[in-house]
């Protein structure tokens, strides 16, 4: 039977066809973005079973996500039927956990061993630290866990770790000389508990194959064909397993794209794909270079960028798709304005192209950047969802600091108190907390009163910690009275101990949480610096946040704009993509400027961002960005200069005059009014009060009246709201749009 008789081969392009039918010997398929690699992999497996009658039990297909594995299996089943279910297909960890279940007795485990998740591992580490009387501030569980994890991913056992003078010296320099001892005890405790952690599933498989050649031979004979997807993301441990399994027949096929290797921080080693040919001199190299996803302009932009990398496998990605629109640069004055400009651009594109929210993705380098974007989207009533993390104000570290602020402002806030009373830990346990609340209920008293009189009510040593906490809150209350919102919030973050705890955690997660708290402080600084706000108190900020973050309960089926880091976006595609925060020291990250290898990984990350776009791509940067409470001048990212300038258009409009539905007409008009002064070349001059300007008595102000404000100029009162002690007026100003002003502060002249 000729290959032409297989229906699933007829629509493949020549390179894809070559990748499918050349199944003998070592093969590396370099698959450019959008080139149909999943189709090649699935068709290749179907062809093996269909043309060569390979038993599916003899095929091993390794992926990096369960989603990818499930999609591939479903595609193969559609091509050749239910036999596809018998393929050994899954993630590295899933497949080798399956093998370890069968062979565990060889390495001292039972086949019922427990798999520890990250929190289980950290809990065990904390117990070990306690038993060794080690300082848990110096030996943080996160730091210890990551150190052990990195060692295992490099196939370094605790014995090798303790015998290596480099590791020993490094630990001593960092003030943690007991790290090797902890690794040893941790390993032995896991073994005693018949437990493996996530890294052990790969590490122990290597040990199994290294020490028990009969077991290795068993699986070498079982797997006639080994295929690995996303090969550029493999670490040393993963590559060594695959190499051992494919050593006898050498029918090993790896598929990947060195230009999309972006996970070095997880242990991925780009050298695995760059040096694959060295390990297999008779390698077949096949390149999938036709892009089916993006326009010509987007493909050429990606090519012009990645060409600047020196460590790469050269390829020429091309497409038959239309040229499409030029890439638009959005230049904004600040990160806050960046959010508004991106949101308005999405609004405009939706109206002009009848697009859905789900057609849009906003990609950023760090999670903390989502805050300004989220606020802008919510103000424009554009639904969104954050992927790979909680919404900014729902993140634990943000909720912790907000809870402190809430309790300082309102010391009867029970939820806030329960969150912070022992955060950071100060020796006030849950039993004591419940006793406090029970007493408040019995006495019919406020919880703050009970806290302040704890010594009189309870006595004993346990009340000393409560008194310390009360003194801390009292100091915060005084600060709130005497300082502006930003200064008060910064003092709370610092003196509560929250900021130090996050700063001391040098893991990737710890640094991210620290950046998120700084971003919250940036938001408060912007709030305080906003000249248009009458009430700049922390209480007002909390109200603003509460209204802004009333979560929509989105699910994956809803029509929402997608927000995510670029790392999370890998493998996805969207018609319209916005890459924001393209500034030096943000993207590329300041932490990735120390070596060429790190900078080239950042460039690959930008390449991934570009190649997510199908129809239209936007690059955005701000001239100023709040960082650590200060408005910092920003320099556009060097990456912007590395993209072919012929493919770029600088967008100098704020919001086009595209048709807008009646339901959004008023909102859009006001939005334009409020932001005209921020649009390039459209600065609104400050209003000069009339010569006879004198604030009027506004006690009888009502809707329909015309007024003058010393800054906003002339406007018409829409309505007046009376909420107890605060009386507010909603006024539509001629040049500045709608404003809500507190009448106790506003200076208005009734015309």
Mean pLDDT by 10 residues, the chain (751 residues): 70 94 94 93 94 94 86 91 90 88 90 73 85 90 92 94 92 93 91 83 95 96 95 92 94 93 84 89 94 96 96 92 95 91 94 94 92 91 82 82 88 80 89 83 77 81 85 92 88 91 81 88 87 76 59 56 93 95 93 91 96 97 82 90 91 40 38 40 60 82 87 85 71 79 79 85
- Percent helix, strand, coil in the chain, to 5, is 50, 15, 35
- List b or e across 580-598, with b for residues whose CB sees 16 or more CB atoms inside 10 angstroms: bbbbbbbbbbeebeeeeeb
**Confidence (pLDDT) at 556:** 54
pLDDT of amino acid 3: 56
Catalytic annotation on 612? yes
CA–CA separation, 590 vs 515, rounded Å?
13
Contact 341, 620 (CB under 8 A): yes
Cα distance between residue 118 and residue 142, in whole Å: 9
Of the residues 39, 603, 612, 749, which is catalytic? 612
Chain CA centroid to CA 488, Å: 29
**121 vs 53, 141, 199, 451, 651, CA distance in Å?**
44, 9, 11, 36, 50
Determine whether 38 is an active site residue: yes
- CA separation for the pair 210, 244 (Å, rounded): 9
- The rounded distance, in Å, linking the Cα atoms of 320 and 294 is 9
User: Read out DSSP for 348-409?
Assistant: HHHHHHT--GGGEEEEESSGGGHHHHHHHHHHTT--EEESSS--GGGSHHHHHHHHHHHHHH
pLDDT at 694: 83
Sign of CA dihedral 362, 367, 373, 374: positive
Calpha distance 410→405 (Å, rounded): 8
Nearest to 38 by CA among 241, 222, 288: 288
Main-chain phi, psi angles of 110, to 5 degrees: -95, 165
User: What pLDDT score does 656 carry?
Assistant: 29
Question: Is 437:422 a contact under the CB 8 Å cutoff?
Answer: no
- Residue 418 annotated to the active site: no
Residues 40, 255: Cα–Cα separation, whole Å: 9
pLDDT at 7: 85
Annotated catalytic residue: which of 43, 63, 238, 260? 260
According to DSSP, the β-strands at 384-386 and 561-565 are parallel
229 labelled catalytic: yes
Number of H helices, E strands in the chain: 31, 22
Going by C-beta distance under 8 Å and a sequence separation of 6 or more, which residues neighbour residue 212?
103, 106, 107
């Amino acid at each position: 039977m000729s290959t032409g008789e297989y229906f699933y081969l007829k629509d493949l392009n020549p390179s894809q066809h070559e990748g499918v039918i050349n199944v003998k010997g070592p093969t590396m398929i370099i698959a450019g973005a959008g080139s149909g690699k999943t189709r090649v992999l699935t068709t290749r497996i179907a062809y093996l079973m269909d043309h060569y009658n390979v038993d599916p039990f003899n095929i091993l297909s390794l992926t990096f996500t369960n989603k990818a594995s499930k999609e591939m299996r479903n595609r193969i089943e559609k091509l050749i039927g239910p036999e596809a279910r018998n393929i050994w297909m899954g993630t590295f960890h899933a497949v080798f956990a399956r093998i370890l279940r069968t062979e565990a007795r060889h390495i001292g485990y039972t086949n019922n061993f427990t798999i520890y998740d990250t929190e289980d591992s950290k809990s065990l580490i904390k117990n070990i630290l306690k038993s060794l009387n080690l300082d848990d501030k110096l030996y943080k569980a996160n730091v210890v866990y990551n150190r052990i994890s990195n060692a295992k991913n490099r196939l370094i056992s605790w014995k090798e770790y303790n015998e290596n003078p480099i590791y020993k010296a490094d630990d001593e320099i960092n003030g943690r000389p007991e790290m090797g001892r902890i690794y040893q005890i941790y390993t032995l405790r896991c073994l005693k508990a018949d437990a493996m952690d996530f890294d052990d599933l790969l590490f122990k498989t290597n040990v199994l194959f290294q020490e028990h050649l009969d077991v290795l031979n068993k699986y070498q004979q079982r797997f006639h064909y080994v295929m690995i997807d996303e090969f550029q993301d493999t670490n040393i441990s993963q590559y060594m397993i695959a190499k051992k399994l494919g050593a006898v027949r050498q029918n090993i096929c790896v598929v990947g794209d060195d230009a999309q290797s972006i996970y070095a921080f997880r242990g991925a080693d780009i050298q695995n794909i760059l040096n694959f040919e060295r390990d297999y001199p008779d390698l077949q190299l096949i390149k999938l270079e036709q892009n089916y996803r993006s326009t010509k302009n987007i493909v050429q932009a990606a090519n012009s960028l990645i060409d600047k990398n020196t460590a790469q496998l050269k390829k020429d990605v091309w497409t038959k798709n239309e040229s499409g629109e030029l890439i638009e640069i959005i230049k904004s004055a600040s990160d806050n304005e960046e959010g508004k400009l991106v949101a308005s651009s999405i609004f405009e594109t939706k109206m002009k192209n009848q697009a859905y929210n789900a057609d849009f993705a906003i990609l950023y380098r760090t999670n903390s950047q989502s805050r300004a974007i989220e606020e802008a989207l919510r103000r424009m009533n554009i639904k969104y969802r954050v992927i790979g993390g909680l919404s900014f104000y729902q993140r634990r570290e943000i909720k912790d600091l907000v809870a402190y602020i809430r309790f300082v402002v309102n010391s009867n806030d029970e939820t806030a108190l329960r969150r912070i009373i022992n955060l950071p830990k100060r020796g006030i346990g849950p039993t004591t907390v419940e006793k406090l609340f029970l007493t408040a209920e019995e006495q019919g008293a406020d919880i703050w009163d009970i806290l302040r009189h704890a010594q009189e009510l309870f006595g004993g040593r346990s009340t000393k910690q409560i008194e310390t906490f009360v003194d801390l809150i009292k100091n915060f209350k005084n600060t709130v009275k005497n300082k502006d919102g930003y200064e008060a919030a910064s003092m709370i973050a610092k003196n509560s101990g929250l900021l130090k705890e996050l700063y001391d955690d040098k893991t990737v997660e710890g640094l991210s949480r620290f950046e998120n708290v700084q971003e919250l402080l940036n938001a408060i600084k912007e709030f305080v610096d906003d000249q248009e706000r009458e009430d700049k108190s922390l209480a007002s900020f909390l109200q603003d946040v509460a209204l802004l973050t009333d979560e929509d309960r989105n699910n994956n089926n809803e029509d929402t704009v997608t927000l995510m880091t670029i790392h999370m976006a890998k493998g996805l595609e969207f018609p319209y993509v916005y890459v924001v925060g393209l500034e030096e020291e943000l993207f590329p990250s300041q932490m990735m400027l120390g070596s060429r290898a790190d900078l080239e990984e950042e460039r690959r990350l930008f390449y991934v961002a570009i190649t997510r776009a199908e129809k239209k791509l936007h690059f955005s940067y701000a001239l100023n960005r709040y960082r650590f409470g200060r408005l910092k001048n920003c320099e556009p990212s060097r990456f912007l200069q590395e993209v072919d300038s012929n493919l770029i258009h600088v967008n100098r409009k704020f919001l086009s005059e595209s048709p807008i539905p009646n339901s959004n007409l008023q909102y859009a008009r006001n939005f334009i009014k409020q932001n005209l002064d921020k649009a390039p070349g459209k600065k609104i001059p400050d209003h000069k009060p009339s010569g006879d300007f004198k604030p009027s008595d506004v006690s009888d102000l009502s809707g329909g009246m015309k007024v003058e404000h010393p800054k906003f100029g002339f406007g018409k009162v829409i309505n007046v709201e009376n909420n107890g002690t605060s009386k507010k007026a909603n006024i539509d100003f001629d040049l500045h749009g709608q404003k809500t002003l507190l009448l106790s502060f506003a200076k208005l002249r009734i015309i």
